[in-house]
Amino acid sequence: METGSPDTAGGTRGERHGEPVWTGLPRDLLRMRRLLLVVWLVPLTVGTGLLLGLLCGPAWAAFALLPLALLLWGWPMLGRNWASWRYAERADDLLISRGVLWREETIVPYGRMQLVEVTSGPVARHFGLASVQLHTAAAATDALIPGLEPAEAERLRDRLTELGEARSAGL
């Protein structure tokens, strides 16, 4: 995925010749999500197999393959989902795009932003990740950018807050 620099050809971060410059999410987010998948489903597989094998007989232990199948299906799906997330900063708004089967693109005008939060739970902090939550007057346009590096999340928060204050002052 292409990333933008503060001084692109278009003069503003996030635009080059009228086209947005997309920034993808860090690979650590994918690592974290895949680790969580393994941490939940491997013990579930082992526990289900042991419990059913001891209580109901060895034939019933085959049901332990269901969480294992979910793990094998979920691994590449998490990769596809991670690859679908991206964002672009334009002159007047922020674009957030995501989705594998159903693409969803959210456009948040800077002047409509009321609150920009940076959050990080214990697991995300362990992986060095933070999320940026954008709140607007219309709840339907609230947006989230998950799994950013903390420095990028803080930079984005500060920039969006600055642009939001500048745009709303003109209303």
pLDDT, block means (10 residues), the chain with 171 residues:
39 61 95 97 93 89 91 96 96 93 91 90 96 84 90 94 77 52
What is the Cα–Cα distance from 165 to 113, expressed in whole angstroms?
Answer: 8
Give the pairing of strands 130-136 and 143-148: antiparallel
**Predicted pLDDT at 170:** 55
* 29 token code pair: 């987010």
**Predicted pLDDT at 141:** 66
* 74 token code pair: 């979920």
CA dihedral 81→2→165→144, nearest 10 degrees, is 10
pTM value is 0.81
